[in-house]
């Protein structure tokens, strides 16, 4: 079996572009689908896939470890987030081919089942990006949270930390406290709440001041309280916070996670299998996290194939905690792609189909070509004109 072509298919999903990767083999009708979506980097990622393709033509797609090594080593310059995302999409497709060739689901090839269902959560607004990032009003927050719970979810994530700088004013802190109290009162103790800071506080003190307002309401975790990359800052926040701390969506590969493990600098890691180098790299990260007494809650606000890859990873990963998901993010979702994620309440069922269990209707996908994504980052400006983290 040999790889004869690698193609990309861009599908605009209104607030972001999905980048699907198709790896084609010389076996009649045998191909695999992966995903390499990266917000605001669509053209760079598709170009990276095209640049990497010549390295793989003629290779056996089942030699996944070797192929990933080729993509990393033979690129010469070390790859950042764009290259790692391109590799992730290709790698997903290789697993899909491998599973199809054996008529087995991918999770079987990753070591088998470690659970009978996969707990999931969604965002405020059920995927509507404006609701996710722009809900700072108590009434709207309550209504949108209840709408999520009405859909059967028992866990949700919110992003209501204000754009911040090195110091945090009392009104901003108190407003966050009111929002969290409103949210907890609305959904009750039976619903887990996660707060995504998006790395907005520019200081350890600022992050801790916000966490002090949130902790009494028992969040499942506070995510990215400071910008990733500074392990010591993350460790200090984790040691002093009165609730679990999570991070990792913007880290690339095992090497960038390793300092977190050594320093015990968080409680939950959040590798994005769409960005960190693929499923194999995610399994390495998860294994090291388990040894460091950390859980894994994979990041995934991406498209449907990334969701399928995460599902198979979750089924086979012992220290899995909860999965971010964005199913049905657009009205025509089911017209473009069929996926193995079947949700009952707040859990996905374990899939039994071959490979990742995904099929793409390329004709329908072509109806939603590339468009420039919305730049939410343009709102991350303080009243005095200072540009801050989004």
* pLDDT for the residue 14: 84
Q: Which of these is catalytic: 92, 267, 275, 299?
A: 299
Domain boundaries, the chain: 3-104, 108-355
pTM: 0.96
155-185 confidence digits (pLDDT tens): 999 999 999 999 999 999 999 999 999 999 9
The candidate with the shortest Cα–Cα distance to 20, out of 374, 363, 373, 360, is 360
DSSP assigned state of 273: T
pLDDT level of residue 4 (50, 70, 90 thresholds): very high
Q: If you average pLDDT over residues 28-33, what whole number do you get?
A: 97
Q: What is the DSSP track for 276-342?
A: SS-HHHHHHHHHHHHHTT-EE-----S-HHHHHHHHHHHHT-TTB--EE--TT-STTHHHHEE-S--
* pLDDT for the residue 369: 96
Instruction: Give the domain 3-104 fold.
Output: Enolase-like; domain 1 (3.30.390)
Q: How far apart are CA 111 and CA 216, in angstroms?
A: 39
195-227 confidence digits (pLDDT tens): 999 999 999 999 999 999 999 999 999 999 999
pLDDT level of residue 127 (50, 70, 90 thresholds): low
Q: How far apart are CA 89 and CA 35, in angstroms?
A: 4
* 312 carries an active-site annotation: no
Instruction: Give the domain 108-355 fold.
Output: TIM Barrel (3.20.20)
* pLDDT for the residue 240: 98
CB 107 within 8 Å of CB 316? yes
Q: Which of these is catalytic: 198, 275, 312, 368?
A: 198
Contacts of 122 (CB under 8 A, 6+ apart): 148, 151, 153, 156, 157, 324, 325, 326, 327
Q: If you average pLDDT over residues 224-231, what whole number do you get?
A: 95
* 275 carries an active-site annotation: no
What's the token pair of residue 38? 């990266």
């Amino acid at each position: 079996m040999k790889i004869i072509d690698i193609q990309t298919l861009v599908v605009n999903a209104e607030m972001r572009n999905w980048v699907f990767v198709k790896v084609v083999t010389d076996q009649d009708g045998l191909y695999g689908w992966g995903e390499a979506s990266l917000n605001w980097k669509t053209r760079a990622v598709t170009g990276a896939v095209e640049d990497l393709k010549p390295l793989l033509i003629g290779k056996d797609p089942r030699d996944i470890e070797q192929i990933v090594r080729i993509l990393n080593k033979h690129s010469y310059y070390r790859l950042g987030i764009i290259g790692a995302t391109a590799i992730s999409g290709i790698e997903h497709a290789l697993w899909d081919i491998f599973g199809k060739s054996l008529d087995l689901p991918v999770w079987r090839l990753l070591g088998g089942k470690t659970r009978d269902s996969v707990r999931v959560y969604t965002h405020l607004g059920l995927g509507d990006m404006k609701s996710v990032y722009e809900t700072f009003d108590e009434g709207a927050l309550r209504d949108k949270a209840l709408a999520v719970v009405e859909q059967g979810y028992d866990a949700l994530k919110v992003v209501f930390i204000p754009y911040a700088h090195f110091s945090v004013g009392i009104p901003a802190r108190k407003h966050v406290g009111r929002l969290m109290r409103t949210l907890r009162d609305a959904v009750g103790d039976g619903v887990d709440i996660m707060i995504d800071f998006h790395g907005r506080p520019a200081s350890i003190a600022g992050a801790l001041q916000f966490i002090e307002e949130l902790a009494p309401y028992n969040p499942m975790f506070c995510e990215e309280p400071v910008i990733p990359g500074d392990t010591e800052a993350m460790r200090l926040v984790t040691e002093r916070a009165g609730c679990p701390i999570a991070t990792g969506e913007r880290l690339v590969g095992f090497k960038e996670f390793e300092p977190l493990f050594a320093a015990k600098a968080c409680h939950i890691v959040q590798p994005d299998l769409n960005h960190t180098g693929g499923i194999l790299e995610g399994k390495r990260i998860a294994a090291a996290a388990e040894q460091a007494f950390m859980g894994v809650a994979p990041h995934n606000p991406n498209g449907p194939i990334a969701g399928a890859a995460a599902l198979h990873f979750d089924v086979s990963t012992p220290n899995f905690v909860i999965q971010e998901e964005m199913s049905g993010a657009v009205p025509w979702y089911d017209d473009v792609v069929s996926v193995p994620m079947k949700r009952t309440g707040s859990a996905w069922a374990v899939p039994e189909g071959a490979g990742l269990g995904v099929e793409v209707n390329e004709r329908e996908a072509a109806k939603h070509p590339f468009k420039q994504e919305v730049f939410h980052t343009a709102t991350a400006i303080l009243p005095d004109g200072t540009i801050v983290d989004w």
